[in-house]
Amino acid sequence: MTTITDQELKSKHAAMWATGDYPRMVDTFLLPLGPRLVDACGITAGARVLDVAAGTGNASVPAAERGAHVTASDLTPELLDAGKQAAGGLDIDWVPADAENLPFPDASYDVVMSSIGVMFAPHHQAAADEVVRVCRPGGTIGLLSWTPEGMLGALFAMMKPYAPPPPPGALPPPLWGSEEHLRGLLGNRVRIDSVTRGNLEITAFRHPREYGEHFKAYYGPTRAVRANAEKEGRAAEFDADLDAFCDTWNLGTPEDARFEKEYLLTVATRV
């Protein structure tokens, strides 16, 4: 049996997110999430902010626009490069970094946040420990994650039978959207100030199955799972299940699709 080292896992993870065109996905329907997280964290001018697993800076940019000093960190340099090009002259440092081993000193930020980012680190406790470690006592931790019960959680459940076995210790990303799981990760090192559920409405696609085609073309995790299904001779089966998934979750009509993706937004204070 072949084993995979942690460094190999991280390299594969970074490469997965570099495939397709995640920046295009952000621009198509994910842009509202970053400002919602920044608002919830109460970010103001002069604050030292770390955006963990920042991707293209969906939360970093609105934080910097408020006058904060922002560090955007991500495992995938290609996403940071795309964000840097789009951000212009805003006060953002773009730093390649592993969410499970952040290269920043203890208690070095006033706000540590992540918008649908840190949830994809495979080892949840290690990532949560780092989020807490780099936040100063009295500082703010803000996390926005897709829920297990919502549309993204259901998508990962649909894809699971077609995916290769996860590496040892890896947990499903949508667990970060479970309040119980998140409280367990953070423990008594924080005071939970607010926990709210919200929905991202998606109306960017005319026909519901265009949503699935968009994910197959641009979303790294879906591309990776479909590639594995193709290797196993199950690509047509995967495509059919994805079509059915899109039809089921469509809240609009067959000619005017509308989706809602539920997220959990948690704000806490480091004690």
> How many structural domains compose the chain?
1
Q: Report the alpha-carbon distance of residue 148 to residue 141 in Å, rounded.
A: 21
Residue 120 lies in a domain: yes
Q: Residue 253, SS3? A: strand
Pairing of strands 92-96, 135-146: unpaired
Q: Over the stretch 88-109, which tens digit does the pLDDT of each residue have? A: 999 999 999 999 999 999 999 9
What mean pLDDT, rounded, does the chain reach? 96
Of 6-15, 17-26, 99-108, 214-223, which range is least confident? 6-15
Structural domain for 71, as ranges:
6-148+168-202+261-270
Q: Over the stretch 151-209, which tens digit does the pLDDT of each residue have? A: 999 999 999 999 999 988 999 999 999 999 999 999 999 999 999 999 999 999 999 99
Q: Report the alpha-carbon distance of residue 49 to residue 65 in Å, rounded.
A: 12
If pLDDT is split at 50, 70 and 90, which confidence band does 265 have? Answer: very high
Contact present, 180 and 153 (Cβ < 8 Å): no
For the four alpha carbons of 114, 9, 26 and 175, in that order, the dihedral sign comes to negative
If pLDDT is split at 50, 70 and 90, which confidence band does 5 have? Answer: confident
Residue 244 lies in a domain: no
| pLDDT of 82 over the 50 cut | yes
Q: Can you give the pLDDT at residue 3?
A: 46
Q: Over the stretch 247-262, which tens digit does the pLDDT of each residue have? A: 999 999 999 999 999 9
Q: Over the stretch 127-150, which tens digit does the pLDDT of each residue have? A: 999 999 999 999 999 999 999 999
| pLDDT of 9 over the 90 cut | no
* CATH code of the domain covering residue 113: 3.40.50.150
Residue 184 lies in a domain: yes
Summarize the chain as % helix, strand, coil (round to 5): 45, 25, 30
Residue 210 lies in a domain: no
In degrees, to the nearest 5, what angle opens at C-alpha 112 toward C-alphas 104 and 177?
Answer: 125
Residue 240 lies in a domain: no
Q: For the full predicted model, state whether its pTM sits above 0.75.
A: yes
Residue 35 lies in a domain: yes
Report the half-sphere exposure of 231 (CA within 13 A, side-chain side): 9
Token pair listed for 125: 């406790």
Q: Over the stretch 25-35, which tens digit does the pLDDT of each residue have? A: 999 999 999 99
CA distances to 100, 113, 134 from 129, rounded to whole Å, are 8, 13, 9
